[in-house]
A and B are shown apart, each in its own frame.
Chain A
Amino acid sequence: MSEMILSDMEEIKINTDVLVVGGGYTGLKAAKGISDSGYSVVLIESDTIIGGEKNPLSFIGIDVTAQDELKRLVDDVAADDAVNVLMNTRLVSAAGVPGDFTIRLATSDGDLEKKIGAIVVATNFSNKPLSGAYGLSLSDSVLTLSQLEYLLSGSDRDRLSNKTIAFMVGFAQEGDALVMERILSNVLAVESIGGCTTYVFAGNLKVASDGLERAYLESRDKGATYFKLKTMPTISPDGESISFIDPVLRKKMELSPDVIVIEEEILADEMNPLLAAILRIDVGPGGFLQTDNIHRFPVQSNREGIFVIGGTRDVQNIPTALMDVENAVLEINHLLKDGKIVVPKNKAVLDIGKCTFCITCYRLCPHGAIYWDNTNKPVISPVACQGCGICASDCPMDAIQIGNYSDAEIMDKIKSNGSAAPDDLRIVAFCCQNSAYEAGLMADAFQMETPANLQVIKVPCAGKVDLDYIMKAFVEGADGVLVMACHPGNCKSEKGNTYAEWRVVDAHRMLEETGLEKERLGFVTLASNMGIGFSSAVVDLENRLKALGTSPFNK
Chain B
Amino acid sequence: MSTENNKIMVIGGGIAGLTAAWELSRLGASVELVEKTCFLGGHAIGFCCKATDECVQCGACSVEDMLKKVVGEPGITVHLATEVDKIGKNGIFSVKLKKSSPTVNMPVDGVIKGYSKNNDPLYVVVDKDKAAQIPEGAVDLSELGTTGELEVDAVILASGFQPFNAEIKKTYGYNQFKNVITGMDLERIKRQYGDVIRPSDKKQPETIAFILCVGSRDERLGNLWCSQVCCPYALRMANDIKFKNEEADISVFYMDIQNFGKNFPDFYEKCQSSMNFIRTIPVDIFPVEDDKLKMRYFNEEDGQSVENVFDLVVLAVGITPDPDNKNLAKLLEIGLNVDGFLGGIDPLNRTRTANEGVFIAGTVEGPKSIAGSMAQAGQAAAEVMKYLEVNK
Contacts and interface: CB of A to CB of B under 8 A. Distances in A.
Contacts of A175: 259
A208 B54 contact: no
A324 B375 contact: yes
A530 B57 contact: no
A295 B62 CA distance: 8
A327 B382 contact: yes
A294 interface: yes
14 contacts: A174-B259, A206-B256, A209-B228, A213-B226, A250-B303, A298-B374, A298-B375, A319-B350, A320-B375, A326-B379, A528-B61, A530-B48, A532-B191, A532-B193
A527 B61 contact: yes
Nearest to B120: A445
In this complex, the member of A208, A319, A528 whose beta carbon has the largest number of chain B beta carbons within 10 angstroms is A208
Interface string A200-231: 00001111111111100100000000001010
Interface stretch (B65-73, B93-101, B328-336): B65-73
B57 A208 contact: no
Given A217-B219, A294-B61, A527 B51 contact: yes
Interface in A439-455: 441, 445-446
B326 interface: no
Given A297-B375, A527-B51, A66 B348 contact: yes
A527 B63 CA distance: 11
B194 A536 contact: yes
A486 B378 CA distance: 25
B224 interface: yes
Given A3-B69, A525-B53, 9 more contacts: A174-B264, A175-B259, A206-B258, A208-B231, A298-B378, A330-B27, A330-B378, A334-B26, A490-B55
Given A207-B226, A486-B55, A487-B51, A329 B371 contact: no
Interface stretch (A133-141, A280-288, A399-407): A280-288
B91 interface: no
B383 interface: yes
B323 interface: no
A36 interface: yes
Given A37-B1, A213-B224, A487-B54, A207 B382 contact: no
In this complex, the member of B64, B72, B268, B366 whose beta carbon has the largest number of chain A beta carbons within 10 angstroms is B64
B88 interface: no
Interface of B: 1-2, 23, 26-27, 47-49, 51, 53-57, 59-65, 68-69, 72, 113, 119, 121, 191-194, 217, 219, 224-226, 228, 231, 255-265, 268, 279, 300-303, 347-350, 366, 371, 374-376, 378-379, 381-383, 385-386, 389
Interface of A: 3, 33, 36-38, 65-66, 69, 173-177, 204-214, 217, 228, 230, 247, 250, 284-286, 288, 290-295, 297-298, 314, 318-320, 322-324, 326-327, 329-330, 333-334, 338, 434-435, 438, 441, 445-446, 486-490, 525-530, 532-533, 536
A217 B217 CA distance: 10
Contacts, number: 185
Given A207-B217, A486-B55, A326 B26 contact: no
A441 B113 CA distance: 13
B366 A210 contact: yes
A334 B60 CA distance: 25
Contacts of A285: 262-263
B257 A488 contact: no
Contact of A530 (B2, B26, B119, B194): B194
Contact of B57 (A204, A298, A489): A489
In this complex, the member of A230, A323, A441 whose beta carbon has the largest number of chain B beta carbons within 10 angstroms is A323
Contacts of B259: 174-177, 206, 208
Contacts of B300: 247
Contacts of B379: 322-323, 326-327
A250 B348 contact: no
Nearest to B386: A36
Contact of B257 (A204, A292, A322): A204
B53 A488 contact: yes
A214 B338 CA distance: 11
Contact of A445 (B113, B192, B217): B113
A409 to B, nearest CB: 22
Given A65-B347, A66-B348, A208-B228, A294 B64 contact: no
